[in-house]
């Protein structure tokens, strides 16, 4: 009997919001794929492990994807992972975990497409996105009334982005965060409300209340900016 591939969002932060649906779906899968090279590196593993006693009785696969923009290397990694998943799907249900929500910037969609091409069914279980968890942590609203929200994964053309009305959500780390920091400091007069969280929900979480506190050495940082419109 053919199984189903479930793309499951596990939220972010060990204390945060794994959903009941996610937990129940993981329980009924015999095989769990994690998008990291080992359990020590894998936040999705840490989140699920804190809720699911019988996790170690399942077949756990750690599937590494190179941190590159080289399309050929990426395509090879996706195909290798999809091939392994298809082998398991011949007889078993498989879960592929992503932090946050699978519909937001997740490798799962490349795997999904390849697995569906091989004739298998897939289903997505939504998760709490990082920017909602971060807003909750900060006690900030993302939007009220008719305010727009813009999710910005890049830092190209910040001048143009800053013209957008409503709330800007930046998801960045490293060099791009440094660039964003400089930009926000120089445009501080236009900022009505600011908040940022790095490693949200984990032990090394850092909450920042001004652009000056942003630190490029931190892992994925979510920055929320509301302007004086």
Least separation in angstroms between CB 2 and its own copies: 17
221-227 and 191-198 beta bridge pairing: antiparallel
- CA dihedral (100, 84, 79, 10) in degrees, to 10, reads 0
Least separation in angstroms between CB 140 and its own copies: 7
| Distance of alpha carbon 95 from alpha carbon 29, whole angstroms | 6
Among 104, 187, 191, 215, binds its own copies (CB under 8 A): 104
Select 38 or 50, whichever has its Cβ closest to its own copies: 50
Among 3, 77, 78, 129, binds its own copies (CB under 8 A): 129
Among 51, 76, 188, 190, binds its own copies (CB under 8 A): 51
Phi-psi label, residue 27: left if phi above 0, alpha if psi -120 to 50, beta otherwise: alpha
Least separation in angstroms between CB 181 and its own copies: 19
Enter the tokens of residue 175. Answer: 């060099």
Separation in Å, CA 140 to CA 24, 134, 135: 31, 9, 5
Site for its own copies contains 56 (CB under 8 A):
no
Where does this chain bind its own copies (CB under 8 A)?
Answer: 9, 11, 15-23, 51, 101-106, 109, 112, 122-129, 132-133, 135-137, 139-154, 156, 164
């Amino acid at each position: 009997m053919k199984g189903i591939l479930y793309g499951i969002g596990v939220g972010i932060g060990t204390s945060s919001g794994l959903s009941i649906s996610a937990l129940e779906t993981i329980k009924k899968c015999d095989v769990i794929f994690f998008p990291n090279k080992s359990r020590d590196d894998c936040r999705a593993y840490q989140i699920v492990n804190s809720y699911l006693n019988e996790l170690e009785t399942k077949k756990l696969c750690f599937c590494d994807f190179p941190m590159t923009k080289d399309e050929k290397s990426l395509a090879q990694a996706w195909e290798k992972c999809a091939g392994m998943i298809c082998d398991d799907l011949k007889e078993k249900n498989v879960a592929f975990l992503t932090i946050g929500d699978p519909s937001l910037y997740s490798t799962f969609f490349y795997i999904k497409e390849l697995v569906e091409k091989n004739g298998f069914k897939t289903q997505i279980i939504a998760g709490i996105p990082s920017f909602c968890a971060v807003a909750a942590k900060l006690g900030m609203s993302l939007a009220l009334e008719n305010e727009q929200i813009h999710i910005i994964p890049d830092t190209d053309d910040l001048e143009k982005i800053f013209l957008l009305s409503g709330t800007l959500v930046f998801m960045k780390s490293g060099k791009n965060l440094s660039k964003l920091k400089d930009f926000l400091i120089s445009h501080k007069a236009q900022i009505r409300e600011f908040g940022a969280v790095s490693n949200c929900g984990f032990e090394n979480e850092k909450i920042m209340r001004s652009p000056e506190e942003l630190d490029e050495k931190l892992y994925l940082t979510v920055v929320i900016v509301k302007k004086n419109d």
